[in-house]
Amino acid sequence: MNTLRSACHGGQIPSRLGRGRASRRRHGRRILRLSCCRIIALTRDQYFAIERRVDALERKRPLDLDVVAAAIGRIDNRELFGARLGPAVRYSQRVEADVAGLSIHTLLPHSPNDHIGRFLEVWVPDESGHGVAQEVLLDHIGLPISPPADPDHVPPHNRVAGVFGRLSRHAYTIVSMAYHSIGAMNERLAIGAYGQMARICKEIGADEIADALFTPMRADESLHLGYYRTYAMQLRAILAGWQLAAVRALIVHTWAPVGAGAKEDRGPFGEVILALEEDPENPSIAAVIQDIAQDLLAKDGETLPPFVHDQLRNCVALAREAA
């Protein structure tokens, strides 16, 4: 099997070379070079597994904001809608608005033409569009809107990880595995949340907003999840044991729900669980996210500690304390 060596684990195959890239044969392998990024080896099958996911993203339609705005304008009972879904929509809008402040380019240097760059070309507008749509919804039901994050702000841990990634190929691969694994877990969380929000909309007679907003956003997140999980699975296959152990330890001991990395944000996330889950003390979404972590991170034959459930239960406890 030929091996493709790709910058950021996603450089282009020879037919798409150009823009200053060069390829050459060495020991029967195709080498793809991109001067600004690290080189990671991929088999052809691994490359095309990711390529199919990115291609599906590039071909999908974005959220139709005009259709969403029209559906929002026809919500009959704003007070009931706000009471049932206000905390979840407020939290989700804040998370989507924070996309500009994630500084992925600093955390994980990449080319605009590799898989990471092409994914972000779709993902950032998707998330921003979700945020804008929920801003309109919040305004319509009379709830406050979170401002977007400062696009120039770079979290310190992203700077540190980016520096190590530039210095070491092994460190870059660890950062990439952590980024894609956490991305898969958080996208699965979003899928579950938007599915529950659509269900509640239908319960209160807001079927149109479920069909125009929450179901399409759930479909977007599903395609994002497909990319993250596939990318991480291909990385897992080439990681050394110590690299996977490093990623596993990092995530098991530091993972928090998307948007709830800071303690002050965990109570608001707990409010989302209280609004969406039938049994908030044992949220059904916890097992689904834990399964993703198990598949991507666990050693063969071993079971990860229930860190996802523990984190979600902590968020619920903080929400109850604040009530």
Token look-up 């929450």 returns 214
Higher pLDDT, 114 or 152: 114
Answer yes or no: do 281 and 243 share one domain: yes
Answer yes or no: do 223 and 131 share one domain: yes
Answer yes or no: do 237 and 103 share one domain: yes
How many structural domains compose the chain? 2
End residue of a domain, out of 50, 66, 81: 50
- For residue 273, how far is the Cα from the chain centroid? 19
Instruction: Read off the pLDDT band of 315 (50, 70, 90).
Output: very high
Residues 28, 13 contacting (CB under 8 angstroms): no
Task: Provide, rounded to the nearest whole percent, the portion of the chain with pLDDT above 90.
Answer: 74
Amino acid making up residue 172: Y
Residues 295, 246 contacting (CB under 8 angstroms): no
Answer yes or no: do 11 and 130 share one domain: no
Tokens of 230: 């596939």
Answer yes or no: do 311 and 274 share one domain: yes
Answer yes or no: do 66 and 43 share one domain: no
Answer yes or no: do 265 and 167 share one domain: yes
DSSP one-letter code for 31? E
Residues 49, 234 contacting (CB under 8 angstroms): yes
Amino acid making up residue 137: L
**Domain residues for 305?**
58-322
Q: What is the CATH number of the domain that holds 147?
A: 1.10.620
User: What's the mean pLDDT in 95-116?
Assistant: 85
Q: What is the pLDDT of residue 157?
A: 73
Q: What is the pLDDT of residue 148?
A: 80
pLDDT digits (tens, 9 = 90+) for 2-45: 444 443 443 333 333 333 333 333 333 333 333 345 567 788 99
Q: How many CB atoms lie within 10 A of CB 239?
A: 18
Q: What is the pLDDT of residue 212?
A: 98
Answer yes or no: do 144 and 184 share one domain: yes
Answer yes or no: do 189 and 298 share one domain: yes
Answer yes or no: do 43 and 151 share one domain: no
User: What's the mean pLDDT in 240-258?
Assistant: 97
Answer yes or no: do 7 and 69 share one domain: no
* Segment holding 32, helix H or strand E: strand 29-32
Pairing of strands 3-7, 29-32: parallel
- For residue 247, how far is the Cα from the chain centroid? 17
Answer yes or no: do 16 and 73 share one domain: no
What is the side-by-side strand order in the sheet with 3-7? 23-26, 29-32, 3-7, 39-43
Q: Which of 3, 11, 51 is nearest to 35 (CA)?
A: 11
Token look-up 């993203």 returns 57
pLDDT digits (tens, 9 = 90+) for 150-194: 777 777 777 777 776 777 888 999 999 999 999 999 999 999 999
Rounded distance, CA 315 to CA 323, Å? 12
User: What's the mean pLDDT in 266-275?
Assistant: 97
Rounded distance, CA 230 to CA 186, Å? 14
